[in-house]
A and B are shown apart, each in its own frame.
Chain A
Amino acid sequence: MNLHEYQAKELFAQAGIPIPKGKVAKTPEEAYQISSQYGTTVVVKAQVHTGGRGKAGGVKLANTPQEAKEKAIAILGMDIKGFKVEKVLVTEAADIASEAYLSVTLDREFKMPVLIASPAGGIEIEEVAKETPDKVLKVRVNPLTGLLPFQMRQVSTFLYTDKNHRKQAGEILKTLYALYWQNDLSLAEINPLVVTKSGQLTALDAKVSIDDNAQDRHPEFEKYKEFSGNEKIEEEAKKAGLSFVKLDGSIGCIVNGAGLAMATMDLVKFYGGLPANFLDIGGSSNPEKVIAAMKIILADPNVKAICFNIFGGITRGDDVANGIVKAVNTLNPKVPIAIRLVGTNEDLAKEILRKVNLNVYSSMTEVVKKAIELSKVA
C-alpha cells in the first residue's frame, strides 16, 4: 500500500525528520487560504500514487495566493498515469543549496534492508545508478543487528563534507531506518533531501509504501487508505478476497493462483488477444468469490469475453462451477464466457455447468483461443 506525499510527510514529521511547512487542499479556495497563510512562494503538488508528477504538469510554483489557486484549478481533477488528482499539497518553496537522495528499501538479493544514498538527488535513483554508479552508496543492514553507528557514518560522510550537515544526515537516516523497520515499510524514500541556503537539511519530497502482508498489525495506517481510479476497484477486490490488477485489453481473466493467472494473461497475448486484467481468486473455493470476480470484470466496459482458467487443488471445481452458475443467473452477463476447469471435483463441476449449457474446455490453450474468438464475434 502506497501513501501520498502529504501522508508520508506526516509520518516523517511525527518521527522528527524536518519537512517544509505544508498543508493539503481539496479545493482551489483551500489552496488560496494555505498560500496566504504562508505569505511566501509555494509549490502546489498533485497527490497521486505514481511517480513523474512533475513531468506530467502536476507540480507547479506559485508566487501569490491567487496563483496558488489558479495552479490548484489546473492540477485538481488532472489524470496522471490513470490516477485522478483529488488533493494537492501546498507547501513552502525552499531555497535549495544542494540536493541528495536517501532511502531504505528491501535488498531482495541479500535479504536485508538496504540504505541507498546519493549526493545526486532530485532525479530517479535508477538513472543515477546506471549513469554514474560511483555516486550511489548502498549499505545493507543485517536485520539481526539493526542499523549500526558505523553504517550511519559511512552514509553521512559519503553524502556531505560539512560537519554540521553530516550530523543532521546521521539523525535523519537513523530516524528513517527506524520508521522503515518499526512500521513494516517496504520503502521509505526522501528525494530530494535538500540542504537549504540556511544550512538546514529538509525532506522536500517523501515516498512511503507499507508491506501489504503487515497491514493487519498496523491499524494506525487505515486512515491513510485513499484510492483513486483503478486503485478503488483493486481495493474492492481485495476486500472480497481477490487479487486484481486492471489492464487495458478486452479478455477478462478469472484464474486461481497468481502464477497461473499471469501465465493465462501471457497466453491471451500469445494468441493475439489482450488481457483486460489480472485476477486471482485465491486458494479457497467460496462460490461468493466467483460472483465478486464476475462483478468486477463485468463492470469493465472494455471486456468482450471472459476466460475462466481453474486448476483445482485446494480450490474445488464444483464450488467454482456453482459460483459461475449463480453469477450467470444473478448478473445476466452480456459477454460470452469460456471455461476451463480441471483438478479437484472436475467431473462434478462439468456436470453442473453442462446443465446450464456452459461448455468446459480441458486445456488452457483451448479456452484462451475460444475466449479470443468469442470476443471478436461479440
Chain B
Amino acid sequence: MGILIDEKTKVIVQGITGRDGSFHARQMKEYGTKIVAGVTPGKGGEKLYGIPIFDTVKKAKETTGANCSVIYVPPAFAADAIYEAADAGIPLVVAITEGIPVADMLKVYHYLKTTQTRLIGPNCPGLITPGVSKVGIMPAQIHKPGTVGVVSRSGTLTYEVVYNLTLAGIGQSTCIGIGGDPVIGTNFVDVLELFQNDKETKAVVLIGEIGGAEEEKAAAFIKAEMTKPVVAFIAGQTAPPGKRMGHAGAIISGGAGTAKEKIEMFKKVGVPVASTPAEIPALVEKVLGKKKSAKVSTAVVRTKAAKKTAPLKTRTFKGNHIKPAHALAAKNAPDKVGGNRKTSRKK
C-alpha cells in the first residue's frame, strides 16, 4: 500500500517541543501515525501528548525501535538534526524545515550517500499514505485512499491537486512532496521508480515547477523505465527569469529551467500535461482508462476509489490480470520498494 511509509512506520519527531513540531506531532498522532518518540535536547524524560521525549535520536531509536524521523528544527540547526538521524541509523528522514542554507545541504547530501538513510526534503510538506500514515504537515482530510501516486516540489499546490483528485473520486496511494529547494535528498526519478515498483499505484501525477532540470530527468526516466501512466503539471509559466519565486529552487537561471521547456519535454515522451490544476483529474481518468485494455478495469478503479471507507486490504487491485502487459512489467521490475517496505516491516 503506497510507498515509503505504512502502518509499520514508527516515527520520531525531531524538534517536538517547538511551535510547528508540537502542533504537527499531535496532528499526525490523531491521524493514526505511530509517533513513538520526540527529540528535544535538554527535555529528555518529559512527555508531550503522551509521547516520550528523548535528548538524542540515538536514545529514542534504541528505546522505541523507530524507523523514520520527521524534522521540524529551525534552519540553522536542521542540518545537524539530519546528520544525527542518519548517524542513529534511521532509514527514512523527512525534513520539513524551510530555509536551510545551500552549503549545509550540499554537505548533507554527499554525507548521506555514505549511509543507508533516505532523506525527503528539506522545505517539503512530507508524505502521506491516505488512511494509513502521515509524516508531515499536509491537511489530512483532503486525501482519500486509492491508486494514484502524487509527487510534487510544492506544498499547497499539491494540496490543490489532491483536493481536485479527491473531489473527482480519485484516491491516492501515496502523496509525497520532495521539496522546493535546489538541493533535496530525494528527487522525482527516485519517487517515480518507487511508484513504478509499487503494486498499489496505477498512475502517477507529477507536479513540477520552474528551475533546475529534475523534470527533464523525470521525463527521460518515464520514457525509458515506466509502464505506468503519468500525468504532469508545471507551475511557473508566467514567472520572469532570474527571480526566485518563493522557493529557493524555483528560479529560471541563464534562460534554463523554464516551464515551457519542461512541458515540451513531458509532451515529447507522451506524458499529458494539464494546463490547469482542475484539468488533472480528467487526464488521470483518461490515462487510467486508456492504459487498460478492458472497460471493466476503469469501472473497477472508480468503484474502488468511491468506497472510501473500504478496509485498506481490499484496495488491492484485482483487475491486474486484465492488462497483462503492465501487470507483468510490475512483477518483473526490480522490486526495490517492496524490499524497502519489507525491511521496515521486519522491525
Q: From B158, B159, B213, B238, give the contact of A265 (CB < 8 A).
A: B238
**Interface membership of A149, Cβ < 8 A:** no
Q: Is the CB of B163 within 8 A of A311?
A: yes
**Interface membership of A219, Cβ < 8 A:** no
Q: Is the CB of A257 within 8 A of B254?
A: no
**Interface membership of B270, Cβ < 8 A:** no
Q: Is the CB of A214 within 8 A of B101?
A: yes
Q: From A108, A125, A258, A365, give the contact of B246 (CB < 8 A).
A: A258
Give residues 29-54 of A contacting B (CB, 8 Å): none
What 1/0 flags go to A241-280 for Cβ under 8 Å of B? 0010101000000011111111101111110000100101
Stretch at the interface among B197-205, B272-280, B295-303: B272-280
Contacting residues, chain B, for A260 (C-beta < 8 A): 154-157, 159-160, 235
Q: From B23, B98, B153, give the contact of A259 (CB < 8 A).
A: B153
Give residues 20-77 of B contacting A (CB, 8 Å): 20, 23, 75-76
**Interface membership of A212, Cβ < 8 A:** yes
Distance from B9 Cβ to chain A, minimum over Cβ atoms (Å): 21
Q: Is the CB of B235 within 8 A of A314?
A: no
**Interface membership of A343, Cβ < 8 A:** yes
Q: A259-B180, A262-B236 are in contact. Are A184 and B276 (CB under 8 A)?
A: no
- Bound Cα distance from A194 to B255, whole angstroms: 26
Q: Is the CB of A268 within 8 A of B238?
A: yes
Contacting residues, chain B, for A265 (C-beta < 8 A): 238-239
Q: Is the CB of A213 within 8 A of B101?
A: yes
Q: Is the CB of B110 within 8 A of A259?
A: no
- Bound Cα distance from A214 to B102, whole angstroms: 8
Give residues 208-261 of A contacting B (CB, 8 Å): 211-214, 216-217, 243, 245, 247, 255-261
Q: Is the CB of B103 within 8 A of A184?
A: yes
* Most central of B23, B106, B180, B207 by chain A CB within 10 Å: B106
Contacting residues, chain A, for B159 (C-beta < 8 A): 260, 311, 313, 343
Contacting residues, chain B, for A259 (C-beta < 8 A): 152-158, 180, 207, 209, 235, 246-247, 250
- Bound Cα distance from A364 to B246, whole angstroms: 20
Q: Is the CB of B110 within 8 A of A262?
A: no
Distance from B248 Cβ to chain A, minimum over Cβ atoms (Å): 6
Q: Is the CB of A363 within 8 A of B278?
A: yes
Q: Is the CB of A111 within 8 A of B183?
A: yes
- Bound Cα distance from A146 to B162, whole angstroms: 42
Contacting residues, chain A, for B156 (C-beta < 8 A): 255-257, 259-260, 311, 313
- Bound Cα distance from A266 to B209, whole angstroms: 11
Stretch at the interface among B135-143, B223-231, B318-326, B334-342: B135-143
**Interface membership of A186, Cβ < 8 A:** yes
Q: Is the CB of B103 within 8 A of A262?
A: no
Distance from B8 Cβ to chain A, minimum over Cβ atoms (Å): 26
**How many A residues touch B, CB cutoff 8 Å?**
52
Give chain A's interface secondary structure class.
mixed
Closest to A145 in B: B110
Distance from A281 Cβ to chain B, minimum over Cβ atoms (Å): 10
**Interface membership of B88, Cβ < 8 A:** no
What 1/0 flags go to B259-290 for Cβ under 8 Å of A? 10000000000000001111000000000000
**Interface membership of A94, Cβ < 8 A:** no
Give residues 80-124 of B contacting A (CB, 8 Å): 98-103, 105-107, 109-111
Closest to B210 in A: A262
Closest to A266 in B: B237
- Bound Cα distance from A104 to B277, whole angstroms: 38
Distance from B128 Cβ to chain A, minimum over Cβ atoms (Å): 12
Distance from B121 Cβ to chain A, minimum over Cβ atoms (Å): 14
**How many B residues touch A, CB cutoff 8 Å?**
63
Distance from B130 Cβ to chain A, minimum over Cβ atoms (Å): 15
Q: Is the CB of B183 within 8 A of A108?
A: yes
- Bound Cα distance from A312 to B182, whole angstroms: 25
Q: Is the CB of B103 within 8 A of A263?
A: no
**Interface membership of A126, Cβ < 8 A:** yes
**Interface membership of A78, Cβ < 8 A:** no
Q: From A112, A212, A342, give the contact of B244 (CB < 8 A).
A: A212
Q: Is the CB of B235 within 8 A of A266?
A: yes
Contacting residues, chain A, for B240 (C-beta < 8 A): 245, 247
**Interface membership of B245, Cβ < 8 A:** yes
Contacting residues, chain B, for A311 (C-beta < 8 A): 156, 159-160, 163
Q: Is the CB of A267 within 8 A of B276?
A: yes
**Interface membership of A344, Cβ < 8 A:** yes
- Bound Cα distance from A113 to B105, whole angstroms: 12
- Bound Cα distance from A245 to B242, whole angstroms: 11
Q: Is the CB of A257 within 8 A of B154?
A: yes
- Bound Cα distance from A83 to B109, whole angstroms: 37
Contacting residues, chain B, for A214 (C-beta < 8 A): 101-103
Q: Is the CB of A106 within 8 A of B152?
A: no
Q: Is the CB of B182 within 8 A of A263?
A: no
Q: Is the CB of B138 within 8 A of A143?
A: no
What 1/0 flags go to A6-22 for Cβ under 8 Å of B? 00000000000000000
Distance from B234 Cβ to chain A, minimum over Cβ atoms (Å): 9
Interface residues of A (CB under 8 A from B): 106, 108-109, 111-113, 125-126, 142-144, 181, 184, 186, 211-214, 216-217, 243, 245, 247, 255-263, 265-270, 275, 278, 280, 283, 311-314, 342-344, 363-365
Top 10 A-B pairs ranked by shortest CB distance?
A259-B154, A258-B246, A257-B156, A259-B157, A214-B101, A262-B235, A260-B156, A143-B106, A243-B246, A262-B236
List 8 additional A-B contacts (Cβ < 8 Å) besides A258-B155, A258-B209, A266-B236.
A111-B183, A126-B256, A257-B155, A262-B238, A262-B246, A265-B239, A266-B259, A311-B159
